[in-house]
């Protein structure tokens, strides 16, 4: 939601602190859900995970359930926050667009040296497709998880058909969630995507990288120039504002860091 | 409606007949068949009546259960796949006749307790099987929904879905479910890596309840020590009997309530100390429902969507308001 260019520092702010907080709330609670969910299967004792120092609790299904619940509160609240916040602000940049499927295939091909990458907007076409897929998976996990929790707390004799399907879908989408998680980590480890890693930790990516790879996005935010004193400081992710080393070049980057001290900003 | 009326008439006649018999026996004469399969049920086991069928080769309830469940477990695979890495299997197929404990082939057994009450030695026989808890962790925590509590109160394991991971046994305070390895759906998936058979326990003769019939053990008891009926009615009668004999109740508060109520003339702490305990031989001590500790957090999970939406709307409105302020200042 908060995007602006900090030319003198060779940075483009890609995510505000709300987006960063939302991402990490989902990511960390999701990781905890994966782990505690696995331990709801009778596997920790069988596979001696309980013997690993610090994992003694993994064989206790009630403790695992409690951890699963705690992580669920964060995960579900963050997911619904995301829907309400970005829905109300009509911030739909991550939703797939027409032609994303074909563009995604071209991008994947380019990773293996076949053809050139097309110029990108803020998000890559496969990011938008992955977002929708992940949203569906999270949606099913949340819905079925809520049914299971309601059953646990209030209605152990809920319709068996409902409980069976909720449980089965929860298990299947749990596996899909693991695959999505692995795919997500795999994608950011690909060399062309690596400069984006900084963005999800600090909120900002290198300007030279963005010029090279996300020209459509920069073209969208560049015209909204504002002098530095007008910059909404409250929206700058602390890490991006604090670190901000001088311009740096990257082996995979074609463009040069732009010169100048004027900061441009766009606040939707 | 007609059926209900006829049932009620039958109930009335039975109850009236039982009442005419006077004495403690009348208290537990609940019209079994009339109520079977209708609403939440409960059973009461009157330990003043159970004599362990000492005059028989084995107790009548055990024989009836074995008879009705005969053949319900398929022949295990030969050899039974050894699970990695434990290489331990539970095979009761060669000990089907065992009846001194719970096994996959023996879903009810009778414990004997000799207790000293006020200097007097008392022998009590206690039929033991699944308690059919009100909120059973064995069912709610089953990772495949193979174990489920139904509206009539019966907690039933679907042997077609169960993988035999024994989680239900681990979370059951009495460790009731028992595993037979080498049978079940796990054989068709990853038999050495996932699952280890099928879990078995009393299902309150669910199939019979559906046909409006009485569970086999209750029907077979020559002492009429066991009864089944509407939960409220059974609970009231059990409490009345306990009060009348100055005895104790077990199963009402244990694990936050169960559908099985024992009435004993001897305090259960004495019975717990006296019975032989071990694998497949549960005790009679106090039991807390461990999952109760997670209920508050479970409620927080259910409230999380509202929390997230409220925070999201508040955040969005704050953002819009800030944007308006800034654009207003800019215009000035």
Per-residue pLDDT of chain A (268 residues; tens, 9 = 90+): 578 888 888 999 999 899 999 999 999 999 999 999 999 999 999 999 999 999 999 999 999 999 999 999 999 999 999 999 999 999 888 999 998 999 889 888 887 888 888 888 889 999 999 999 999 999 999 999 999 999 999 999 999 999 999 999 999 999 999 999 999 999 889 888 899 999 999 999 999 999 989 999 998 887 654 544 444 444 455 544 444 444 333 333 333 333 333 333 443 3
Shortest CA distance to B181 belongs to which of B167, B207, B200? B200
Q: How far apart are the first and last CA of chain A?
A: 6
Lowest mean pLDDT among A157-171, A183-197, B92-106, B242-256: A183-197
B 202-221: CB under 8 A from A: none
- In the prediction, which pLDDT does A115 show? 83
Task: Look at B150 and A160 and tell me if their CB atoms are within 8 Å.
Answer: yes
- In the prediction, which pLDDT does A255 show? 35
pLDDT for B13 beyond 70: no
Phi, psi (degrees; rounded to nearest 5) at A156: -60, -20
Task: Look at A47 and B165 and tell me if their CB atoms are within 8 Å.
Answer: no
Residue numbers in B near A152 (CB within 8 A)? 140-141, 291, 294-295, 298
- In the prediction, which pLDDT does B2 show? 35
- In the prediction, which pLDDT does B14 show? 42
Give residue-wise pLDDT tens across range B22-52: 334 444 454 445 444 468 999 999 999 999 9
Cα–Cα distance measured from residue A259 to residue A264, given in angstroms and rounded to the nearest whole number: 13
**C-beta separation of A3 from A19 below 8 A:** no
pLDDT for B113 beyond 60: yes
B167 CA: distance to closest CA in chain A (Å): 6
B278 CA: distance to closest CA in chain A (Å): 21
Once rounded to an integer, what is the mean pLDDT over residues B103-110?
98
pLDDT for B61 beyond 90: yes
SS3 B142: coil
Residue numbers in A near B287 (CB within 8 A)? none
pLDDT for B84 beyond 60: yes
- In the prediction, which pLDDT does A221 show? 84
Query: How many Cβ pairs within 8 Å bridge chains A and B?
Result: 153
Tokens describing residue B318 = 């704050």
- In the prediction, which pLDDT does A265 show? 40
Instruction: Please tell me what DSSP assigns to residue B177.
Output: -
- Mean pLDDT for all residues in chain B: 89
B 17-76: CB under 8 A from A: none
- In the prediction, which pLDDT does B326 show? 77
- In the prediction, which pLDDT does B83 show? 96
A69 CA: distance to closest CA in chain B (Å): 6
CB neighbours of residue B20 within 10 Å: 8
The secondary element (H helix, E strand) that includes residue A173 is helix A160-189
Once rounded to an integer, what is the mean pLDDT over residues B170-187?
98
Q: Where are the alpha helices (DSSP H) in chain B?
A: 2-20, 24-27, 32-35, 60-68, 137-140, 167-171, 206-210, 216-220, 231-245, 268-274, 292-331
Cα–Cα distance measured from residue B261 to residue B251, given in angstroms and rounded to the nearest whole number: 5
- In the prediction, which pLDDT does A247 show? 39
If one looks up domain B2-294 in CATH, what number appears?
Answer: 3.30.70.20
Tokens describing residue A117 = 């990458």
Is the minimum CB–CB distance between B304 and chain A shorter than 8 Å?
Answer: yes
Task: Look at A146 and B307 and tell me if their CB atoms are within 8 Å.
Answer: no
Task: Look at B305 and A76 and tell me if their CB atoms are within 8 Å.
Answer: yes
Percentage of residues of chain B with pLDDT beyond 90: 82
- In the prediction, which pLDDT does B201 show? 98
Once rounded to an integer, what is the mean pLDDT over residues B4-33?
41
Residue of B322 and A29 predicted with greater confidence: A29
- In the prediction, which pLDDT does B332 show? 62
Provide the residue ranges of all domains of chain B, joining segments of one domain with +.
Answer: 2-294
CB neighbours of residue B46 within 10 Å: 27
DSSP-assigned beta bridge partners for residue B41: B230
Could you tell me whether strands B178-180 and B260-264 are parallel, antiparallel, or unpaired per DSSP bridges? unpaired
B122 CA: distance to closest CA in chain A (Å): 38
* Closest Cβ–Cβ partner in A48, A89, A156 for B316: A89
The CA angle A37-B172-B103, to the nearest 5 degrees, is 115
Q: Tell me the C-alpha to C-alpha distance, in Å, between residue A96 and each of A100, A126, A127, A170, B232.
A: 6, 8, 8, 25, 57
The secondary element (H helix, E strand) that includes residue B114 is strand B109-117
Cα–Cα distance measured from residue B151 to residue B139, given in angstroms and rounded to the nearest whole number: 13
Tokens describing residue A59 = 């064989």
- In the prediction, which pLDDT does A224 show? 56
DSSP-assigned beta bridge partners for residue A5: A12, A264
Task: Look at A73 and B317 and tell me if their CB atoms are within 8 Å.
Answer: no
Shortest CA distance to A268 belongs to which of B320, B298, B109? B320
pLDDT for B20 beyond 50: no
Task: Look at B143 and A171 and tell me if their CB atoms are within 8 Å.
Answer: yes
Q: Which of A46, A225, A231 to mutate to test the interface with B (most CBs of B within 10 A)?
A: A46
Shortest CA distance to B138 belongs to which of B161, B162, B178, B167? B167
**C-beta separation of A160 from B145 below 8 A:** yes
- In the prediction, which pLDDT does A237 show? 54
Gyration radius (Cα) of chain B, Å: 25
Residue numbers in A near B144 (CB within 8 A)? 167-168, 171
Residue numbers in A near B140 (CB within 8 A)? 151-152, 156
A87 CA: distance to closest CA in chain B (Å): 9
Look up the pTM and report it.
Answer: 0.85
């Amino acid at each position: 939601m908060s995007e602006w260019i900090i030319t003198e520092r060779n940075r483009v702010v890609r995510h505000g602190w709300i987006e960063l907080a939302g991402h990490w709330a989902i990511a960390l609670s999701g990781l905890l859900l994966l782990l505690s969910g696995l331990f709801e299967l009778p596997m920790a004792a069988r596979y001696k995970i309980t013997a690993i120092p610090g994992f003694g609790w993994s064989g206790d299904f009630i403790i695992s359930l409690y951890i699963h619940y705690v992580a669920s509160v964060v995960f579900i609240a963050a997911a619904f926050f995301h829907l309400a916040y970005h829905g109300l602000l009509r911030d739909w940049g991550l939703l797939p667009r027409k032609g994303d499927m074909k563009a995604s295939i071209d991008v994947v091909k380019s990773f293996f040296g076949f053809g050139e990458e097309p110029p990108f907007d803020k998000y890559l076409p496969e990011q938008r497709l992955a977002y929708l897929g992940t949203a569906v998976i999270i949606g099913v996990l949340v819905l079925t998880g809520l049914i299971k929790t309601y059953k646990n707390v209030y209605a152990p004799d809920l319709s068996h058909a409902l409980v069976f399907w909720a449980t089965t879908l929860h298990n299947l989408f749990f596996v899909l969630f693991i695959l999505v998680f692995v795919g997500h980590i795999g994608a950011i480890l690909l060399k062309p995507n690596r400069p984006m890693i900084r963005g999800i930790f600090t909120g900002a990516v290198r300007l030279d990288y963005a010029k090279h790879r996300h020209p459509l996005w920069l073209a969208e935010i560049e015209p909204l120039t504002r002098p530095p004193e007008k910059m909404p400081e409250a929206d700058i992710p602390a890490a991006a504002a604090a670190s901000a080393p001088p311009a740096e070049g990257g082996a995979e980057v074609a463009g040069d860091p732009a010169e100048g001290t004027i900061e441009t900003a766009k606040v939707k | 409606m007609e059926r209900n009326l006829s049932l009620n008439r039958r109930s009335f006649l039975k109850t009236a007949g039982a009442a005419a018999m006077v004495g403690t026996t009348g208290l537990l004469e609940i019209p079994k068949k009339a109520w079977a399969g209708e609403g939440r049920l409960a059973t009461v086991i009157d330990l003043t009546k159970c004599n362990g069928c000492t005059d028989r080769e084995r107790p009548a309830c055990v024989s009836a259960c074995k008879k009705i469940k005969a053949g319900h477990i398929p022949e295990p695979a030969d050899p039974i796949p050894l699970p990695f890495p434990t290489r331990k299997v539970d095979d009761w197929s060669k000990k089907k006749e065992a009846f001194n404990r719970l096994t996959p082939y023996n879903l009810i057994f009778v414990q004997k307790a000799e207790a000293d009450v006020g200097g007097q030695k008392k022998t009590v026989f206690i039929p033991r099987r699944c308690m059919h808890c009100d909120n059973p962790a064995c069912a709610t925590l089953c990772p495949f929904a193979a174990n489920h509590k139904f509206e009539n109160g019966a907690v039933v394991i679907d042997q077609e879905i169960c993988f035999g991971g024994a989680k239900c046994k681990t979370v059951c305070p009495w460790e009731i479910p028992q595993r037979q390895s080498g049978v079940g759906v796990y054989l068709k998936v990853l038999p050495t890596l996932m699952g280890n058979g099928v879990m078995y326990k009393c299902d309150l003769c669910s199939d019979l309840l559906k046909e409006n019939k009485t569970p086999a053990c209750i029907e077979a008891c020559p002492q009429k020590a066991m009864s089944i009926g509407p939960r409220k009615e059974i609970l009231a009668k059990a409490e009345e009997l306990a009060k009348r004999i100055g005895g104790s109740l077990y199963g009402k508060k244990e694990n936050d309530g169960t559908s099985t109520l024992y009435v004993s003339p001897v305090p259960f702490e004495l019975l717990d100390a006296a019975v032989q305990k071990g694998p497949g031989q549960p005790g009679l001590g106090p039991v807390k429902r461990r999952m109760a500790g997670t209920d508050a957090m479970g409620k927080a999970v259910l409230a999380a969507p509202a929390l997230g939406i409220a925070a999201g709307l508040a955040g969005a409105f704050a953002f819009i308001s800030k944007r308006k302020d800034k654009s207003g200042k800019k215009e000035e």
